[in-house]
Amino acid sequence: MKQLISTTLILLLASGTLAARNGSTQKSSAAPQNTIPASMETLGTVGQTNYRWENGNVWISLSDNARIALVIGIEQGIVLSVRENWNAVPKAVQADLEETAGRLTVNQATFTQLAVSIDALYLQQANLGIPIVDAYEYALMALKNTPKDKLERFLDGLRQTYHLPAPPPPPREKKH
């Protein structure tokens, strides 16, 4: 249940960085559609809906201020989602919403620290295909002092989910 709520919150909050694709090819004449190069999107599925998430290639193309604004927007989306759904869910689920929102918001860290932590994740070429919303969650875990083995399992899970290659092994130290 908590995973479902987490996923729902992430999807709701990321409307600015998440473009849903439901198989429809209908185009709106009201506004031009933005197209993003395939290398800047990562395909994923939640339930029966396919999504294209902007990934690390988008992140590294942004200015520092845009990166900070993006993480602020993700957090604001989480808070908005909780507020908008609060009265629509049973009381028993409200505690899960609060727990998930607490886990997915910055709390004691700053938005700048969070953006720098995401930067560090994307320094490895193998991580560039990870969606920004997942990098956000990983960076929060790191800032909240999640044990290293749990962080590595989470990162390995992301790479498997999005069919990304494992990073190359670190270079061996030469013995003198």
CA neighbours closer than 13 Å in the CB half-sphere of residue 143: 25
Residue 44 β-bridge partners: 51
Per-residue pLDDT for the chain (176 aa), expressed as one digit of tens each? Answer: 444 344 444 444 443 333 333 333 334 345 445 566 778 888 887 888 888 889 999 999 999 999 999 999 999 999 999 999 898 999 889 999 888 888 888 888 899 999 999 999 999 998 999 999 999 999 999 999 999 999 999 999 999 988 887 777 777 776 66
pLDDT at site 138: 97
* 1 contacts 96 by C-beta, under 8 angstroms: yes
- Per DSSP, the three-state class of 41 is strand
Confidence (pLDDT) at 169: 74
Q: What is the side-by-side order of every strand in the sheet holding 18-21?
A: 18-21, 49-54, 41-46
Torsion of CA 19, 20, 23, 29, to 10 degrees: -60
From 147, 146, 139, 148, select the one nearest 121 (Cα to Cα): 139
pTM of the predicted model over 0.85: no
